[in-house]
Amino acid sequence: MSAADLVAQHAIPDVTLPVGAVTVCLGGAYLVWLLLRETRRW
């Protein structure tokens, strides 16, 4: 959460993004990576 907050504050100059939006993007990318990794094992 701290990393998502840091990214939300500094990703775009003069714009503060919602921390939840950043968390969803990071978590979604991680979930897709996990799913792809698991399907390659089969």
What are the tens digits of pLDDT across the range 4-39? 899 899 999 998 889 999 999 999 999 999 999 999
Q: What pLDDT is attached to residue 29? A: 96
Q: What pLDDT is attached to residue 36? A: 96
Residue 1: which of 16, 15, 20, 14 has the closest Cα? 20
For residues 40 and 34, give the distance between their C-alpha atoms in angstroms, rounded to a whole number. Answer: 10
Cβ neighbours around 37 below 10 Å, total: 9
Instruction: For CA atoms 35, 36, 41, 42, give the dihedral sign.
Output: positive
* SS3 label, residue 17: coil
